[in-house]
Amino acid sequence: MKPVIELKDVWKTYTMGENKIHALRGVSLTIQKGEFVAIQGPSGSGKSTAMNMVGCLDVPSKGEIYLDGVNIAKLSESSLAQIRGRKIGFIFQKFNLISTLSAWENVMLPLTFQGMNESERRKRAKERLEAAGLGDRMNHKPNELSGGQQQRVAIARALVTDPEVILADEPTGNLDSKTGATVMQYLQELHQKGKTIIMVTHDDKLAHYADRIAFLKDGIIIKATKADKTKTQVIA
């Protein structure tokens, strides 16, 4: 299998006054195409920073990150934006929908940034929302939707560009356990269809939906294990 993402000795250092804080201290991780990987760790462990690196939202202070063989640590802001738009789909804990736009418009937005023509992006967004079971809620604003529906809109938005990698940051953090389980099942289905999924979570039960778990503590990977699928039964 070909690696989609490779982190090689990645450091992220923030300077706060005279202190230097190392959010990541030499993280190396290889994720193969089609893998479902969970990055697990307590808060402050650097897992969000790691995800930002993988998602091209941030660049490392030191080290290299390869996405499809391209070192993104050296790319310009505008190139990073284009890579994010085409190759990565984000699912956030707080859904992060644009409140002034309808569900349909939210899902169309990534295609807008790619310069796709209007009729095509309307069509694609509609298909995605219908696939997520929201065909009748397309013209509703986020505040008119339930938490579960909002997260499904967010997932539709993440998938509409047909990205190679889905990055989910605590995707069930703002949902009740039943809705959370549905979202996790949906992610699993996507994984089965061949998508690469990277999920950041502090929740042990969620992490076990993945193929592999990387435990992060104080900015380093302390352990990488195969997930135990039986543990996911608790919430499913």
Partner 1 sequence: MNKDLIKYGLNNLWHRKKRSLLTVISIFIGIMAIFALISFGQGLSSYVKSISSEMGTDKIVMQPKGGFGNPTESAFQFNEEDVEFVKKVSGVSEATGMIVTSVQVQQDTAKKSRYVYAQGIPTEQSEQQLINELFATDLGSGRELKKGDTDKVAVGYGYSQPNTVFEKPIGLGDKLYINGKKVEVIGIYEPIGNPIDDMNIYFTSEAMVDFLGAEKEYATIFIRSSASEDPREVAKTVEEKFRKYKDQDEGKETFFVQTFEDLIASFSTILGILNTVLVLISLISVVVAAVNIMNTTYTSVLERTQEIGIMKAIGAQNRHILFVFVFEAGVLGIIGSAVGMFFGYLIAKAGGFFAASAGYSMLQPAFPLWLVLGCLVFGFFMGALSGLAPAYQASKQKPVEALRYE
CB of residue 227 to partner 1, shortest distance in Å: 27
In the DSSP assignment, the letter for residue 2 is -
CB 88 within 8 A of CB 121: no
The kind and range of the H/E element at 181 are: helix 177-192
Per CB under 8 A, does 217 bind partner 1? no
Q: Which two tokens stand for residue 29?
A: 């991780």
Q: What is the rounded distance in angstroms from the CA atom of residue 116 to the CA atom of residue 164? A: 18
Is residue 58 involved in binding partner 1 (CB under 8 A)? Answer: yes
Please, what is the Cα angle at 14 between 9 and 20, to 5 degrees?
95
Find the shortest distance in angstroms from Cβ 230 to partner 1.
34
Report the alpha-carbon distance of residue 217 to residue 195 in Å, rounded. 27
CB of 145 to partner 1, least distance (A): 16
Residue type, 10: V
Find out whether 205 and 235 touch, Cβ atoms under 8 Å: yes
Is 18 an interacting residue with respect to partner 1 (CB under 8 A)?
Answer: no
86 makes contact with partner 1 (CB under 8 A): yes
Out of 9, 21, 62, 118, the only residue in the binding site for partner 1 (CB under 8 A) is 118
Segment interacting with partner 1 (CB under 8 A) among 66-74, 80-88, 207-215, 224-232: 80-88
Nearer to partner 1, 173 or 188 (CB): 173
Using rule CB under 8 A, residue 70 touches partner 1? no
- Cα 162 from chain centroid? 13
Question: Residue 100 interacts with partner 1 (CB under 8 A)?
Answer: yes
98 is a site residue for partner 1 (CB under 8 A): yes
> Does residue 43 interact with partner 1 by CB under 8 A?
no
In the bound state with partner 1, the residue whose beta carbon lies nearer, of 100 and 230, is 100
Interface segment toward partner 1; rule CB under 8 A; list 26-34, 61-69, 90-98, 170-178:
90-98
Q: With contacts defined by CB under 8 A, name the span among 114-122, 129-137, 174-182, 202-210 that binds partner 1.
A: 114-122
Here the tokens at position 30 are: 């290889």
Q: Does 166 contact partner 1 by CB under 8 A? A: no
How big is the CA angle at 96 (ends 24 and 112), to the nearest 5 degrees? 105
Nearest CA to 195 out of 162, 223, 153, 226 is that of: 162
The residue among 90 and 215 lying less far from partner 1, judged by its C-beta, is 90
Nearest to 184 by CA among 162, 160, 152, 218: 152
Contacts with partner 1 by CB under 8 A lie at 52, 55, 57-58, 77-78, 81-82, 84-86, 90, 92, 96-101, 105, 108-110, 112-115, 118, 121, 157, 161
